[in-house]
Amino acid sequence: MNRKLIAGNWKMNGLSAEAEALAGDLARRYRGAGAPAFDMLLCPPAPAIGLVGRTIAGSGLALGGQDCHADPKGAHTGDISAEMLGDLGCSHVIVGHSERRQDHGETDEQVAAKAAAALGAGLIAVICVGETLEERDAGETLDVCGRQLAGSLPPGANPDTVVIAYEPVWAIGTGRTPTVDDVGVTHSHIRGTLSGRIAGAERVRILYGGSVKPSNAAELMAVANVDGALVGGASLVADDFWAIGAACG
């Protein structure tokens, strides 16, 4: 069984004071817990990364970005390179989140290029896949996830360089989740897809994301092939995010 990773995607939330308070609270809890049974990753919005990094220094919490550009530098106004994230102390970066795929029209090919840039900068790429409600209703969940995954994996992907997050689009921020049986089937399919492409695929961490909260975390984290959670809304509340970690057993 893989060690669980609980990742918080703060999205576009958190001014300096809130970010510092939330990160400081979690850092104190993580440090105070001695040897927590789970890894915890904070992915604040880009302007807060430096501040959060300084706040959690020495706590054992990991720091990540929410996106990166595929190029290491250049004329890309408003974008952030993987190297810049690494320079700020990030060890991870989320790529291919459905909000990026939808809001910015990101394709699997672009996600793979971003993931490759992440690996090139020494970061771990947290690659998101997941079906829309229409695709789910059409019975296409496994096809969509398999296709997105195959198309989004960068060359050189291995258990130490990539994490996969299965996030059904219809479950994000809606309070709805798939059944634990459905989560198990999709995670198993993702594991199988990885097996054909990555040596040691059983060690790749596959996170579930989509309306994870303290009340459903234990049952979701107990599903086979679920190696942690990518958490949006509940990661903004220290008590809730911490409770999700504690549910890892």
Closest residue to bound ligand PEP by CB:
232
Q: How far is the CB of 34 from ligand PEP (least distance, A)?
A: 27
99 catalytic per annotation: no
Among the listed residues 69, 167, 187, 189, the single catalytic one is 167
Report, in Å, the least distance between residue 23 CB and ligand PEP: 18
Place of tokens 């390179």: 81
Among 167, 88, 79, which residue's Cα sits nearest to residue 121?
88
| Nearer to ligand PEP among residue 83 and residue 167 (C-beta) | 167
135 is an active site residue: no
Tell me how far, at minimum, the Cβ of 124 lies from ligand PEP, in Å.
Answer: 16
Binding residues for ligand PEP, per CB under 6 A?
Answer: 9, 167, 172-173, 209-212, 230-234
Four-point Cα dihedral 228, 118, 95, 76, nearest 10? 160
Q: What is the DSSP string of 11-66?
A: -S---HHHHHHHHHHHHHHHHHTSS-SEEEEEE--GGGHHHHHHHHTTSS-EEEES
- Smallest distance, Å, CB 248 to ligand PEP? 16
Tell me how far apart the alpha carbons of residues 178 and 169 are, in angstroms, rounded to a whole number.
11
**Given the complex with ligand PEP, which of 86 and 232 has the nearer CB atom?**
232
Q: What are phi and psi of 22, to 5 degrees?
A: -65, -50
Phi, psi (deg, nearest 5) at residue 144: -65, -50
Both tokens assigned to 113: 């290029």
Minimum Å gap between C-beta 109 and ligand PEP is 22
Nearer to ligand PEP (CB atom), residue 211 or residue 225? 211
Q: Which residues of 233-246 are buried (b: 16+ CB within 10 A; e: fewer)?
A: bbbbebebbbbbbb
Exactly one of 20, 69, 92, 97 is catalytic; which is it? 97
Nearer to ligand PEP, 11 or 83 (CB): 11
Catalytic residues: 97, 167
